[in-house]
Chains A and B, each alone.
Chain A
Amino acid sequence: EVQLVESGGGLVQPGGSLRLSCTASGLAFRNYWMHWVRQDSGKGLVWVSRINSGGTLTTYADSVKGRFTVSRDNARSTLYLQMNSLRGEDTAVYYCVVGVTAPSGGYWGQGTLVTVSS
Chain B
Amino acid sequence: DVVLTQSPLSLPVTLGQPASISCRSSQSLVHSDGNTFLNWFHQRPGQSPRRLIYTISNRDSGVPDRFSGSGSGTDFTLKISRVEAEDVGVYYCMQATHWPHTFGGGTKVEIK
Q: Which A residues lie at the B interface, using CB under 8 A?
A: 35, 43-47, 50, 59, 61-62, 95, 100-103, 105-111
Contact = CB atoms under 8 A, between A and B. Distances in A.
A61 B100 contact: yes
A45 B103 CA distance: 6
Interface residues of B, number: 22
Contacts of B35: 101
A103 B54 contact: yes
B71 interface: no
Interface of B: 35, 37, 39, 48-51, 54-55, 58, 60, 90, 92, 94, 96, 99-103, 105-106
21 contacts: A44-B103, A45-B92, A45-B94, A46-B103, A47-B100, A47-B102, A47-B103, A50-B101, A59-B99, A59-B100, A61-B100, A62-B100, A100-B94, A101-B39, A101-B55, A103-B54, A103-B58, A106-B39, A106-B51, A106-B60, A108-B50
Contacts of A111: 48
A6 to B, nearest CB: 10
B60 A47 contact: no
Main secondary structure of the interface of A (DSSP, over half): loop
A63 to B, nearest CB: 9
Nearest to A100: B96
B48 A108 contact: yes
A108 B47 CA distance: 10
